[in-house]
A and B are shown apart, each in its own frame.
Chain A
Amino acid sequence: MIQIKDLHKSYKMGKNSLHVLKGINFNVEEGELVAIMGSSGSGKSTLLNILGMLDELDEGTYTLDGVAIKNLNETKAAQYRNKFLGFIFQSFNLINYKSAAENVALPLYYQKVARKERQEKALKYLTQVGLKEWANHLPSELSGGQKQRVAIARAMAAEPKVLLADEPTGALDSTTSYEVMDLIQKINDQGNTILIVTHEPDIADMCKRIVHLKDGVIIEDKKIEQVRASKYV
């Protein structure tokens, strides 16, 4: 699903250039649940941003579902993001004046899906994350865990190839974190490919594979026995 070869990325900070990713080689198959781990500054968020086409790579190749991601203009990048990727952020990033259902329907709006179908789909995914009754509530009326579940529903609404989660449990307490992870595992069970950036080992243990980044290189890439979050819920 994802092939990355020899990926380099550096940031210019005035005269100095900060080499963040120093040659990453990395493949993800369909249906995998991968945790990208590393301390802060290891380059894990940069890697995720490049995977999410939110940032551009300097060197190397990135192929997503057989499509080379290269030299995209803004419009093209926006279309690819919409078609291929679903994002889950640490700070949820819901639009605060839109109801849960409207937030979930937003990616579909940019896919030019008809309004009625959007509403149906939004409700379907909200049901899937267990928030059917909260469809008409504003984000400010939801708890942190509920907000993240709305965000997950939104990420799935466009039926993307890959879900990218940047510290999805970073702003949640551990009980809520496990609930969210349980949801993510269930989505993965349905065959969705998911990448999670985290620095929490217990969250990483709930994935099927852990990629360890340090100083811009992968120092460890191992398949693990998944810990089911449902045990803790």
Chain B
Amino acid sequence: MFSRDNWREIFQTIQKNKLRTFLSGFTVALGILIFVVLFGFGNGLINTFQLFFEDDAQNIITFFPGQTTKPYKGYKSGRQIEFDRSDLADIEKNFPMFLEYVTPRIGRTYLTKFKNESNNYSTRGVAPSHQFAEKTIIMKGRYLDKLDILKKTKTAVIGRLVERDLFGQKDAIGNYIDVGGSVFKIVGVYQDDGGDDEERRIYVPYTTLQLIEKNNDKVDQIIVAFKPELGYSGAMALEKSLSTFFKEKKYINPNDQNGIFIRNVAEGLKQTQQLARVLQLIVSFVAFGTIIAGIIGISNIMVFVVKERTKELGIRKALGATPKSVIGTILLESIFITTISGVLGMLIGIAILSSLDKTLEDFFITDPFIDLSVAIFATVVLIIFGGVAGYIPAKRAARIKPIVALRDE
């Protein structure tokens, strides 16, 4: 069945019937091409959604103080809740097995000066672990460390754009800047994927900020990083028990929604991931539809091809072609065409995807790609069905009596 003579015969048939070959090959190639591109777009969509969250750590629960709206245990409503350093210690003491780290955040905006340059920057008083929560990348120097917190040093880590604003091309490390009237030494410069705003910030030890502000004990927000292995449900449970803990400690009515505000990244991430997955599902559905359309297309063409060749097959049978050789010829031809054009369509599709790269980012498609195994699987499916599609009419043709075929003018 696979002798050189057979192949020569098949090549001749393919060569001499270019339109037919082109049509069936084109159907298959287009089907695979569209499948690969669509599937890649789906993956690109997921990539985009993931990028939204990659800027910050994803195992973060942030607690914001609020104002109570319900009276509780003798306290009136409308009371401002405040966090302080003891809250941090209590969390660390009560929930150690769930936590990676805890960091406070005090947010201020100060006029910041260096020589003749000045500007208003958001200045944050934080602990060293805040670097992981915000995914701050140190470009040069260092981040804040434990000693800074302990000794309440006047050290600052500034954003890349702060350095550019105040120092131009010069190196900021080691220089002293005036932040809201106090002088800080710059120990590090960072960058952040979150955009320009996040690179126009100044990080200082939170204890130093507290010292400057009349040596108080207050913190604005508490950022809790849970262990990633808790998963979604673990994170939700932790959020709930932390909330209960705070409400109890701060004498907030358990049903008061406004005493403490909580933002849980895990929740938003999950929702977005679900949305992305649904989109991917829809795109895959359309992509598989394309494959099915391709299968139907190749089936139609094969039925037509066999019909068109009925007389030729009749002649061949009269000259001594066995049914097996008739089926074999048609089948090999169809598989040959679908394989070549299927692989071609797949390669073109992959080439298109890799050439797109980030050009479609405006349409929420980032780095579209397709697993090679998925692409190959789809191609093989189409080839197999192309073969089946060729086999059924070929078998029928092989059974036709030569006289019937020859009468078919």
Contacts and interface: CB of A to CB of B under 8 A. Distances in A.
A87 B312 contact: no
B275 interface: no
A10 interface: no
Interface string A92-119: 0111011000100011011100010000
B315 A95 contact: yes
Contact of B316 (A52, A75, A89, A106): A106
Among B5, B315, B316, the most chain A Cβ lie within 10 Å of the Cβ of B315
Contact of A75 (B12, B17, B324, B409): B324
Interface string B310-341: 01101111111111110000000000000000
A97 B13 contact: yes
Contacts of B320: 78-79, 81-83, 107, 110-111, 158
Chain A: interface size category: 20 to 34
B403 A87 contact: no
Contacts of A74: 322-323, 398-399
Interface of B is mostly: helix
Contact of B319 (A49, A55, A81, A102): A81
Interface in A160-210: none
Nearest to A82: B320
Given A55-B401, A98-B12, A110 B323 contact: no
Contacts of A49: 403
A91 B322 contact: no
Contact of B325 (A54, A93, A95, A110): A110
A233 to B, nearest CB: 29
A19 B8 CA distance: 45
B406 interface: yes
Chain B: interface size category: 20 to 34
Nearest to B324: A75
A95 B401 contact: no
A154 interface: yes
Contacts of B311: 93
Among A78, A87, A93, A94, the most chain B Cβ lie within 10 Å of the Cβ of A78
B9 interface: yes
Interface in B1-58: 5, 8-9, 12-13, 16-17
B401 A75 contact: no
Contact of A54 (B16, B17, B401): B401
Interface in A43-74: 49, 52, 54-55, 74
Contact of A154 (B9, B312, B317, B319): B319
B322 A75 contact: yes
Contacts of B318: 52, 54, 81, 87, 93
6 contacts: A49-B403, A78-B322, A81-B320, A87-B319, A106-B316, A106-B319
Given A93-B318, A158-B320, 10 more contacts: A52-B318, A54-B401, A55-B403, A75-B323, A87-B318, A91-B409, A93-B311, A94-B315, A110-B322, A158-B319
Interface of B: 5, 8-9, 12-13, 16-17, 311-312, 314-325, 398-399, 401-403, 406, 409
